[in-house]
Amino acid sequence: MSKKKKWIIWGVILVVVIGGVIFYFKNKKPVITYTTADATKGTLAQTVSVTGDLVAKDEITLNFEIGGRVSKVFVKESNQVAAGDKIATLTDSTLQKQVDQAKAGLDQAIATSGSNSDTLREAKVGLDNAEDSLDQTKKLNDETVASAEQTVENAQKAYDDTLDFYNSNISKQNKITLTNAENALASAKQALKTAKEQTDLSEISADNAVSSAKARVKTVESDFARNARNAQVASARAVYDMALLNLNKAVLISPVNGIITEVNNKPGEILGTGVIKEAFSRVMSLDMIIQSQVPESDIVKVKLGQHASVTFDALTPEDIFDADIIEINPASTNVQGVVYYDIKLKLNTLDARVKPGMSLNVDIKTAEKSEVVMIPSRAIKIEENKKYTEVLKADNVTIEKVYVETGLEGDDGMVEVKKGLNGGEKVVTFQVTK
């Protein structure tokens, strides 16, 4: 065979091969691979997650209203106090002498004013009533304290049982139960402390009422029945009342339940009557407020009264606290070109580990629906302002376009489908053509 024929044959073969390849690729059908997700039915939640800081609602400066020498200081920094607890006292010997002197002046003024039998009789009835009230108060206080002590005992037993169960069955849920038991025990002890303090105060008040009634009887025995508006008696009574008021000013008390953050004076130090340059003490209210900022894209979902779950950076993720939204500031704040709105939440759970200034994470539950059909948002497409999704049929090849009506946009990119799907369908989220 000549060389020229060989080249012709090879040329023909090459043309046939190239033609076959072109024919094959022109008639080959494309292969489409679908990535799908199931249309599921269940509970769909919508959550707005933000960060924030914990602050005390109030910090109150405590000072004596009068000058004098500090007699006793009953608290130290970090001590927890209840409303009405003594913080400190001033030496009151001079003030007490002023009270005694004013009382003597009042008695003398009354003695010179005559007496009135009707008023005396009323004063004695008042004394009897005050003594009866004191007896009833003591009885009621005993019952109140006994009930509070029983509550502490029950809470202690519940805590011990929970601790034993937790030690033998350590889990996240049991840890939460143990924390709740600890909080219940702490609350019961605080309630017992408060009950004892309140019963002491109520008994003191009732006892003071008896003392006042006795003093009233003694006063009326030589009272000014014939001249009730006697200027001399009125003046003496005003002096006596002022002396009592000043005596009470020698005791500094806490007006709120809180934690002592500052004590600046010691027993023996003298407090002047001029301008006070520093606080004797400061108390921080136990009411804790969370300050946070919500971006404008989420603020329309947030409403007053909504509940939130709070975790602290300093604690474990299992330590979850409850809070409620109590304030939404209508004025916006611009932070690096992003618009935010300030909100405040009230922390409902008290824990000794939680301190003002701590950073935290807030998950606000803005909406929730149960028994709804949901699919990933990436499976939803739009055509002429209508939403649809593609459903992969059982042959894993054919797809069907299904128009849908969507509802709640939930967490993790899931969207409620109100109409169009029943649940169980496989919706296409991505496709690749080869």
Alpha carbons 219 and 126: distance in angstroms, whole number: 13
Residues 379 and 246 in one domain: no
Which of 209, 227, 250 is where one domain is finished? Answer: 250
Residues 111 and 39 in one domain: no
Q: Any alpha helices (H) in 221-299, and if so which ranges?
A: 231-248, 296-299
Residues 114 and 215 in one domain: yes
The DSSP element (H or E) to which 434 belongs, if any, is none
* pLDDT by residue, tens only, the chain of 434 residues: 566 666 666 666 777 667 665 655 555 556 677 888 899 999 999 999 999 998 877 778 888 888 888 889 998 887 888 888 888 988 877 777 887 888 888 777 777 665 455 566 666 667 677 677 767 767 776 777 777 778 777 878 777 877 777 777 777 777 787 687 778 777 767 877 776 777 776 667 767 776 776 776 666 555 444 455 467 777 878 887 887 887 788 888 888 778 888 888 889 888 875 545 578 888 877 777 899 999 999 999 999 999 999 999 999 999 999 999 999 999 999 988 899 999 999 888 777 788 888 999 999 999 999 999 999 999 999 988 899 998 988 888 888 889 999 999 988 889 999 998 998 889 998 877 76
Alpha-carbon distance values, 3 to 7, 13, 15, 220 (Å): 7, 16, 19, 151
Residues 237 and 381 in one domain: no
Q: What amino acid is encoded at 393 in this protein?
A: K
Q: Which two tokens stand for residue 276?
A: 């006070």
What are residue 351's phi and psi, to 5 degrees?
Answer: -140, 130
User: Is residue 139 included in any domain, yes or no?
Assistant: yes
Name residue 328's beta-bridge partners. 343
Chain position carrying tokens 């009634």: 213
Using only the alpha carbons of the chain, give its radius of gyration: 40
Report the candidate in 18, 36, 9, 21 with the shortest Cα–Cα distance to residue 428: 36
- Name the CA dihedral angle for 406, 407, 409, 414, rounded to a multiple of 10 degrees: -50
- Domain of 402, in residue numbers: 32-46+370-433
Residues 156 and 238 in one domain: yes
Residues 243 and 105 in one domain: yes
Alpha-carbon distance values, 356 to 52, 61, 88, 324 (Å): 11, 17, 25, 17
Residues 39 and 101 in one domain: no
Q: Any alpha helices (H) in 84-220, and if so which ranges?
A: 93-111, 117-168, 172-220
Counting the structural domains of the chain, the total is: 2
Q: Is the pTM of this model over 0.85?
A: no
Residues 116 and 39 in one domain: no
Which of 206, 231, 250 is where one domain is finished? Answer: 250
Alpha carbons 228 and 121: distance in angstroms, whole number: 16
List for the chain the helix, strand, coil content (%; round to 5).
40, 35, 25
User: Is residue 81 included in any domain, yes or no?
Assistant: no
Q: Residue 235 in 3-state DSSP? A: helix
Residues 242 and 96 in one domain: yes
Alpha-carbon distance values, 235 to 94, 106, 220, 225, 248 (Å): 21, 8, 17, 16, 20
User: Is residue 58 included in any domain, yes or no?
Assistant: no
Q: What amino acid is encoded at 279 in this protein?
A: A
User: Is residue 84 included in any domain, yes or no?
Assistant: no
CATH of the domain at 379: 2.40.420.20
Q: What amino acid is encoded at 192 in this protein?
A: L
Q: What amino acid is encoded at 224 in this protein?
A: F
Name residue 342's beta-bridge partners. 293
Q: Residue 9 in 3-state DSSP? A: helix
Eight-state DSSP code of residue 99: H
User: Is residue 196 included in any domain, yes or no?
Assistant: yes
Which of 182, 217, 250 is where one domain is finished? Answer: 250
Alpha-carbon distance values, 200 to 55, 91, 207, 309, 383 (Å): 32, 23, 10, 38, 76
- Report yes or no: 344 and 325 within 8 Å, Cβ to Cβ: yes
User: Is residue 264 included in any domain, yes or no?
Assistant: no
Alpha carbons 308 and 326: distance in angstroms, whole number: 11
Residues 150 and 237 in one domain: yes
Q: Residue 185 in 3-state DSSP? A: helix
Residues 132 and 186 in one domain: yes
User: Is residue 6 included in any domain, yes or no?
Assistant: no
User: Is residue 344 included in any domain, yes or no?
Assistant: no
Output the CA torsion sign for 273, 278, 280, 286: positive
Q: Residue 256 in 3-state DSSP? A: coil
Residues 162 and 97 in one domain: yes
